[in-house]
Amino acid sequence: MLAGLTEPSAGQVLLNRVPWCELDSKRRKSLAYVGHQNALKDGLTLGEALSFLASLQGLDSPRDRARHALDRLSLGRHWRTPVRHLSQGMRRRGALARLALDDAPRVWLLDEPLDALDDASVAGFAELVDHKLGQGSAVLLTSHQSIPWTNCPQLHLGGEGRRP
């Protein structure tokens, strides 16, 4: 719902006080969503896949940005590796590399980002999120696992998605 894909049955979703359905292209640029699925195509190389996602986001120099982002997440040597040859953890990191594509402040919605990540990767991801927060971005994520941050507000939801 927050990503604007489904309409809420009650209430409204507002971004900077503007209802989501009225968001124009410019405002949509400031919202980014990494879903449960990685959106990396099996048939492409990691580099190609991430470059494509960078282009979708409307960023310039997509290939350079993708290369830089992958280096940041220690995936640089897999630039030419087809996505289907990567492990689940590496694919997840590849998907999360989108966070490192540019420095513009955004609202990031992450659905189960820690899925399939090992401890070292989780630590790396935590550092990346801190970096984004420092740039003025907001990060909203869901997780079944415990999150290694202590200084962020946490919301615990009951079974049906309502506040308990």
Phi/psi at 88 (nearest 5 deg)? -60, -40
Phi/psi at 103 (nearest 5 deg)? -105, 5
Pick from 2, 44, 107, 133 the residue near other proteins by CB under 8 A: 44
36 is a site residue for other proteins (CB under 8 A): yes
DSSP 139: E
43 is a site residue for other proteins (CB under 8 A): yes
For residue 120, what is the enclosing H or E element?
helix 119-134
For residue 25, the minimal CB distance to other proteins (Å) is 5
Name the burial class of residue 42, with classes exposed (0-12), middle (13-18) and buried (19+) by CB atoms within 10 angstroms of its CB.
exposed
Residue number, 33 or 126, with CB nearest to other proteins: 33
Pick from 15, 63, 105, 143 the residue near other proteins by CB under 8 A: 63
Q: Which parts of this chain interact with other proteins (CB under 8 A)?
A: 3-7, 25-26, 28-29, 31, 33, 35-44, 48, 52-53, 55-64
